[in-house]
Amino acid sequence: MPEIPLLDLLPSGLQTLTLILLKIIAIVTPLLLCVAYLTYAERRVIGFMQVRMGPNRVGPIGLLQPIADAVKLAFKEIIIPAGANRFLFILAPIVSLATALSAWAVVPFGAGRVLADLNAGLLYILAMTSMGIYGVIIAGWASNSKYALLGAMRSAAQMVSYEIAMGFALVGVLMAAGSLNLGEIVNAQAGGFGHWFVWPLLPLFVVYFISGVAETNRAPFDVSEGESEIVAGFHVEYSGMSFSVFFMAEYANMILISVLSSVMFLGGWLSPFEGMASAETLASPLGSLLDSGFHWFVFKVALFLFFYLWFRATFPRYRYDQIMRLGWKVFIPVTLVWILVIGVAIAAGIGPWFD
Amino acid sequence: MVEQLVFYALSGILVFAGSMVVTVRNPIHAALFLVLAFFTTAGIWLLLDAEFLAMTLVLVYVGAVMVLFLFIIMMLDINLVVLREGFSRYLPVGILIAVLLGLEIVMVLGPSQFGLDIVPAPAHHGPAYSNIEELGGVLYTVYVYPFEIAAVILLVAIVAAIALSLSGRVKKRRGQRPEEQVVVNPRERVRLVKMAAERPDSETP
């Protein structure tokens, strides 16, 4: 237990509670900061990809832009449309954000650095992210608007379809690691980048990340928003803070998918050069960067987030029937076949992953 | 002590949500209350250390089945007035069935069937206990035949549902055929024709 001043003054039941609350704050605050600066990074990166500048006026090289946006959204009026269901209309963004944040409870940031070390951590994350659909559906229905309802319908069908492929990809990971605990999944990949699960599970890795892009309703799978077809989809009627809560949830989910991809396939906080550098190199200040640690975790997550932005700048939006075809007729068969391959590989003990 | 408080809070919400499912007028609200009921049930199962079952309940019923339920209800044009037609006419039969069902439930699930002396409280296991392993161990050894038969029945149901939805319209299949699009050769689609850019002077009128 870390030393926190004044904690001993509380009764023992409250001590645990305070400690858990402090840990939650320590996870959620940097996460929301990351969400804010991910919007900035998105606009800058896509700006450079499209040969323009992006936001560069507020603060040095535009660094205060997310703060300015947040202040602007916080002071806007929240309009509740006539005929809308007030309670559900307010509830929808809360459900979105709550499910997006609660999944972070089991994410390991380093060896043993996790809020709740669940045995069924992977299942917990899958269950929590699958609840995120309700935010979208309730928003679409409670808005009393046909565009919002259409967006909610599209998004519900899409998320349910891709969840199956995603679940099968996770089955492959849990077969390879022999555990549903995220920390143990990372530890099963110890021993340099050759031991990472991305090599034996390469098709599942591709399926997982693309399904993740579809699950978060990001381009090129953003038919639930589809500006050119249904205005803005499920959140047309939302304004001000209630609108921005939806976006906080979407970006938090993007970061979550990136974190999970790096934890399950790229060895989380493990260094790719594990076991290659000598003890003297690791002891030197520059060489210690080669050791496993939080910086590798951040680097891998940033890589996946860059892929997200890159996809958005590169691909045109999928047509709806093509999305369904990709999910049901391509991804699910690929994952099913590869689960069989993994089973054979485990039975044969093919190294360095399954021996 | 805390555990009991959590149990009573969850059970209270569960009973409230369950009764709202059958009494509330709007079908969407009823479905959402059913979601709440499933979620609180998952919470109660967590108190019993059944974390795998609790997660699966949320994942399957809340995350997939109820989403499809809501999806269908939103698409249907439900007219409550038509649904309520003949309510008073069928009321006596309805009350009779309700009373019968209630009696049956009391006989099977009444207080005489439960209690710590009849069903002992399940033992709490340490943090190292994985009920996924326990469940898998039983499911794939003792109950392997029922498990496999259930899986085959579900597979047959999936195939049957797809076959029903396809019957009679397999031939006039519209939509995209990606395999044909991939093998398209540009030479079969476009014919480039060479011709003079302008006519000779003598032909102009």
ipTM for the assembly: 0.81
Shortest alpha-carbon distance between residue A179 and chain B (Å)? 10
Looking at residue A3, what is its pLDDT? 58
Contact B63 A118 (CB under 8 A): no
| CA count, 13 A, side-chain hemisphere, B62 | 30
pLDDT tens digits for A111-148? 778 888 877 888 888 888 888 888 888 888 888 888 88
d(CA A62, CA A2): 38
Tell me whether the omega of the peptide bond preceding residue A352 falls within 30 degrees of 0, making it cis: yes
Residues from chain B that touch A153, judged by Cβ atoms under 8 A, are 71, 74-75
The DSSP letter of residue B140 is T
Q: Which residues contact B138 (CB under 8 A, 6 or more apart)?
A: none
d(CA A96, CA B195): 63
Per-residue pLDDT at B146 exceeds 90: yes
Residue pair A92/A148 in contact (Cβ under 8 Å)? The answer is: no
Residues from chain A that touch B55, judged by Cβ atoms under 8 A, are 120, 123-124, 126-127
Looking at residue A225, what is its pLDDT? 72
Domain boundaries of chain B, sorted by first residue = 1-80, 90-120, 123-165
Residues from chain B that touch A184, judged by Cβ atoms under 8 A, are none
| Nearest beta carbon to residue A133 from set B51, B56, B67 | B67
| Position with higher pLDDT, B177 vs B175 | B177
Looking at residue B154, what is its pLDDT? 94
Amino acid at B152: V
Contact B132 A119 (CB under 8 A): yes
- Residues B1-80, CATH architecture: Up-down Bundle (1.20)
d(CA B75, CA A291): 55
Q: Which residues contact A50 (CB under 8 A, 6 or more apart)?
A: A313
Residue pair A149/A103 in contact (Cβ under 8 Å)? The answer is: no
Contact B32 A138 (CB under 8 A): yes
Q: Which residues contact A159 (CB under 8 A, 6 or more apart)?
A: A130, A132, A133, A136, A214, A215, A217, B67
Which helix (H) or strand (E) segment holds residue B162: the answer is helix B144-166
The DSSP letter of residue B147 is H
The DSSP letter of residue B58 is I
Of chain A, the percentage scoring pLDDT greater than 90 comes to 15
Amino acid at B78: I
Q: Find residue A113's DSSP bridge partners.
A: A110
Regions of chain A where pLDDT drops below 70: 1-8, 226-228, 277, 281-282, 355
Q: What is the 3-state secondary structure (H, E, C) of chain A?
A: CCCCCCHHHCCHHHHHHHHHHHHHHHHHHHHHHHHHHHHHHHHHHHHHHCCCCCCCCCCHHHCCHHHHHHHHHHCCCCCCCCCCCHHHHHHHHHHHHHHHHHHHHHCCCECCECCCCCCCHHHHHHHHHHHHHHHHHHHHHHCCCHHHHHHHHHHHHHHHHHHHHHHHHHHHHHHHHCCCCHHHHHHCCCCCHHHCCCCCCHHHHHHHHHHHHHHCCCCCCCCCCCHHHHCCHHHCCCCHHHHHHHHHHHHHHHHHHHHHHHHHHCCCCCCCCCCCCCHHHHHCCCHHHHCCCHHHHHHHHHHHHHHHHHHHHHCCCCCHHHHHHHHHHHHHHHHHHHHHHHHHHHHHCCCCCCC
Residues of B in CB contact (< 8 Å) with A are 28, 32, 35, 51-52, 55-56, 58-59, 62-64, 67-68, 70-71, 74-75, 127, 130-132, 175-176, 178
| Nearest beta carbon to residue A149 from set B59, B64, B74 | B74
Residues from chain B that touch A134, judged by Cβ atoms under 8 A, are 35, 67
Residues from chain B that touch A149, judged by Cβ atoms under 8 A, are 74
The whole model's pTM is what? 0.85
Residues of A in CB contact (< 8 Å) with B are 88, 117-120, 123-124, 126-128, 130-131, 133-134, 137-138, 141, 149, 152-153, 156-157, 159-160, 163, 180, 321-322, 325
Residues from chain A that touch B35, judged by Cβ atoms under 8 A, are 134
**Among A16, A88, A137, which would you mutate to test the B interface (most chain B Cβ atoms within 10 Å of its Cβ)?**
A137
Mean pLDDT on B40-51: 87
Q: Find residue B140's DSSP bridge partners.
A: none
| Position with higher pLDDT, B116 vs A264 | A264
Single out the residue of A263, A290, A285, A265 nearest to residue A275, CA to CA: A290
| Nearest beta carbon to residue A322 from set B58, B63, B176 | B176
Per-residue pLDDT at B144 exceeds 70: yes
d(CA A153, CA B68): 10
Rg (CA), chain A: 22
Shortest alpha-carbon distance between residue B94 and chain A (Å)? 32
Residues from chain A that touch B59, judged by Cβ atoms under 8 A, are 123, 126-127, 130
Question: Which chain A residue has its CA at the smallest distance from B175's CA?
Answer: A321
First CA to last CA across chain B, in angstroms? Answer: 106
Per-residue pLDDT at B204 exceeds 90: no
d(CA B12, CA B15): 5
Residues from chain B that touch A138, judged by Cβ atoms under 8 A, are 32
Residue pair A246/A225 in contact (Cβ under 8 Å)? The answer is: no
Which helix (H) or strand (E) segment holds residue B179: the answer is helix B178-182
Looking at residue B103, what is its pLDDT? 92
Looking at residue A7, what is its pLDDT? 67
Cβ count near A75 (within 10 Å): 9
pLDDT tens digits for A44-71? 999 999 889 888 888 888 889 888 988 9
Spell B57-67 as b/e; 16+ CB within 10 A means b: bbbebbbbebb
Tell me whether the omega of the peptide bond preceding residue A220 falls within 30 degrees of 0, making it cis: yes
Contact B132 A120 (CB under 8 A): yes
Contact A325 B55 (CB under 8 A): no
Q: Find residue A110's DSSP bridge partners.
A: A113
Residue B145 banded pLDDT, cuts 50, 70, 90: very high
pLDDT tens digits for A77-99? 888 888 778 888 888 899 999 99
Contact B62 A130 (CB under 8 A): yes
d(CA B22, CA B24): 6
